[in-house]
Amino acid sequence: MAEFIAYLIAGIATGAIYALAAIGFTLVWQTSQTINFAQGEFVMLPAVLILLAVKLFGLPLWAGGLIGIAVFLLLFGAGFKLVVVDPMIKHGVLPLAIATMALSIIMKEGAKDGFSAEAQSFPSLVPTEMVNLLGAAISLQHVAIIVVAFAAIGLLQWFVGGTKLGRQMQATAQNPTVARILGIPVERMVLLTFLLNAALAVVASLLISPIYLAKFSNGETIGLFAFIAAIVGGFNQIRGALVGGLLIGVADSLAAAYVSTQYRMAVPLILLVAIILIKPEGLMGRKEERRV
Amino acid sequence: MSAPALESPSTAPRRRAHLIDSALITLLIGAAILWFAPVGMGRYGTYVLSLWLVMSIGVMGLNLTLGYAGQTSLAQAGFMGLGAYTTAILTTKWGVSWYAAFGISGLFTFCVGILLGFPALRVRTHYLAFVTLAFSTLIWLLLRNEQWLTGGTFGISNIDRPQFFGIKLFGALEFHRFVVAITLILSLVLWWLVRSPWGRAFTALRENPVRAASLGIDTRAYTLLAFAIGSAYGGFAGSLFAPLVEFIDPSPFTLSQSLFLLLMVVAGGSGYFFGPFIGALLGVVLPEWLRFAGSLYLIIFATIVLALLIICPQGVSGLIERLWAALSRRKAGGTP
């Protein structure tokens, strides 16, 4: 039982990371029909940029952190939208999705060649101790991840549902034409969504990198699982992405413990296929209609 | 996701229709040139040329899925892996002849394609991308973990090259010519397929699936068929890949390799008959020539594809077409 709780907590912690990435994924999908295959690399890169800033300029960690985060938000929040998405969106969903695949290769190989091919340790903001909970040894880092991630998601929910700006963003996502008629600055709202996506990636990166270390290839698994989480949850909702993320994280953690370490990755994949077959609109999703 | 996925210029199908005979001629001349090309190129140069053709077959299959039927498959490298391992296991462990193994590899990947595509396309077309995404990772896990069958990370070595009526094709040049012949046959089949009524139905699907359905095309059956044939081409490519490199392990068949193959389709020009050859040239041969660029080449390639997608989503083939149109307009004396 104690063992089970430990695995459960670890699963919820990684699941919260997947949820952060999956939420950003769905936000970007909603407002601009961008299937971002580079989402995993978005989570990998901020930690690498921070370490790079510290190494290159010999800065203290907090200053390097600020520079790394600012550069990332500029390049992969605003820059991603202006340089990649805006010119491509008129060509349709598929070319844009393929463009993000190209982007993911550039980010991954860029991190490998420009930073390091080896995993680098990333400082943790909380002590790396274990605490005892109901007889189970729980890592404080996992607890911190869960607390911070849920706080971020709660904040986001409040922003989208409870503030005027957030409601404008929501309106833009649901119907840009009507939003424009109502006088909402649609372009600015879309940009805001991309910045939010980048910010969520930064949070996820800061949380996960102390455990997984900063490495160029980290994005592969995170991206794949965030992608699965978004589809399992319902592809177009924050709630869905949260549920999907947690489900995938817990399934992965329990599979590693009780099924097989070699095939742990297979469990979320099979979950994905099962959802597509049984409930293709996702656990929390609505059916979409097809039009000519 | 209701709009047709891939927007293409309205002039492309018409232009393609009158290019058809020149496509056949180009194919035959190209095969003749490639038959003699490696003379004096040395073992390595010949190997790179053969590798280019083998990858072109895989990219051709993906082009059928993506460029003609408008579906995204993220598992083409996985299908190549299935084909390569099927051939390797059959020929090394059970002594099956390469020709039989080649046929079985194609048939096997075709059937897997049907099994994967059938449930995925039942739901909504974009879900094929998601299902193949899961599939390619599962295949990779199987190849790596089932040591008793696949040799795990150690792979399978000593894969023999086939014989041709008693002539051993073990040398680089002989095997290259064999690859040229197989590539030509597979290209001819695809050339025939694309201009048959079947192929036109594929194109109708890509342009507007809902309208194609209203015209009485069984969209699901055609999409499924395009995907399955495309997957079988992946299997054929893998089946040639195994004897070409003579040693296989799971690393060339990962998800990122599948994405890379997809980028080759787009770079060459998706929906263009010769696009895959250009795409594979950019993705496979160029990095061998530009060895000084090293691992940077992947970044360069991805950047080229990204720039192409932004400037000209029809890829290099589209660029050539535009250039050609501009030149012929100037030659005709008209103002550009």
Residue B113 lies in a domain: yes
List of E strands, chain B? 163-164, 167-168
User: How many other C-beta atoms lie within 10 A of the C-beta of residue B41?
Assistant: 15
Residue B280 lies in a domain: no
CB contact under 8 A, A93 and B2: no
Residue type for A268, please?
A: P
User: What percentage of chain B carries pLDDT values higher than 70?
Assistant: 90
Tell me the pLDDT of chain A (292 aa) as tens digits: 788 888 999 999 999 999 999 999 999 988 888 889 999 999 999 999 999 999 888 888 889 999 999 999 999 999 999 998 988 888 878 888 889 999 999 999 999 988 888 888 888 877 777 877 777 788 888 999 999 999 999 999 999 888 999 999 988 888 888 999 999 998 899 999 999 999 999 999 999 999 888 899 888 889 999 989 998 888 767 888 999 999 999 999 999 888 888 888 888 888 888 888 888 777 877 665 444 3
Into how many domains does chain B fold? 1
The pLDDT tens digits for B309-319 are: 888 888 888 88
Whether the predicted pLDDT of B9 surpasses 50:
no
CB contact under 8 A, A276 and B131: yes
Of B1, B124, B138, the CB nearest to A269: B138
Residue B325 lies in a domain: no
Does B303 contact chain A (CB < 8 Å)? Answer: yes
Does B308 contact chain A (CB < 8 Å)? Answer: no
SS3 state of residue B50:
helix
What the block records as the tokens of B61 is 């299959």
Whether the predicted pLDDT of B14 surpasses 50:
no
Whether the predicted pLDDT of B61 surpasses 50:
yes
pLDDT of residue B333: 62
Residue B87 lies in a domain: yes
Does B60 contact chain A (CB < 8 Å)? Answer: no
Specify the higher pLDDT residue, B66 or B122: B66
pLDDT of residue B124: 63
Which range among A8-22, B5-19, B127-141 has the greatest average pLDDT?
A8-22
Residue B210 lies in a domain: yes
Does B19 contact chain A (CB < 8 Å)? Answer: no
Evaluate whether A34 touches A100 at the Cβ level (below 8 Å).
Answer: yes
Evaluate whether A222 touches A208 at the Cβ level (below 8 Å).
Answer: yes
Residue B278 lies in a domain: no
Mean pLDDT for all residues in chain B: 84
Of A132, A144, A156, A133, the residue nearest A12 (C-alpha): A144
Of B3, B4, B299, the CB nearest to A106: B299
B262 to chain A: closest CA residue: A98
The pLDDT tens digits for B78-126 are: 999 999 999 999 998 888 899 999 999 999 999 999 999 888 777 665 7
pLDDT of residue B123: 65
pLDDT of residue B296: 82
Q: Residue B52: which pLDDT band, with cuts at 50, 70 and 90?
A: very high
Q: Which domain does B248 fall in, by range? A: 12-252
Specify the higher pLDDT residue, A76 or B202: A76
pLDDT of residue A68: 93
ipTM attached to this prediction:
0.84
Mean pLDDT across the stretch B55-76? 91
User: What are the residues of chain A with a beta carbon less than 8 Å away from any beta carbon of chain B?
Assistant: 33, 37, 84, 87-88, 90-95, 97-99, 101-106, 109-110, 112-113, 220, 224, 227-228, 231, 262-263, 265-266, 269-270, 272-273, 276-277, 280, 288-292
As a three-state string, the secondary structure of chain A is CHHHHHHHHHHHHHHHHHHHHHHHHHHHHHHHCCCCCCHHHHHHHHHHHHHHHHHHHCCCHHHHHHHHHHHHHHHHHHHHHHHHHHHHHHHCHHHHHHHHHHHHHHHHHHHHHHCCCCCECCCCCCCCCEEEECCEEEEHHHHHHHHHHHHHHHHHHHHHHHCHHHHHHHHHHHCHHHHHHCCCCHHHHHHHHHHHHHHHHHHHHHHHHHHHCECCCHHHHHHHHHHHHHHHHCCCCHHHHHHHHHHHHHHHHHHHHHCCCCCCCHHHHHHHHHHHHHCCCCCCCCCCCCCC
DSSP character for B291?
G
Contact list in A for residue B144 (CB cut-off 8 A) is 262
Residue B282 lies in a domain: no
User: How many other C-beta atoms lie within 10 A of the C-beta of residue A125?
Assistant: 12
pLDDT of residue A147: 93
Options 1.10.238, 1.10.3230, 3.30.420, 1.10.3470; CATH of A2-278:
1.10.3470
Does B243 contact chain A (CB < 8 Å)? Answer: no
Residue B96 lies in a domain: yes
- CA dist., res. B53 & res. B237, Å (int): 9
pTM, two decimal places:
0.87
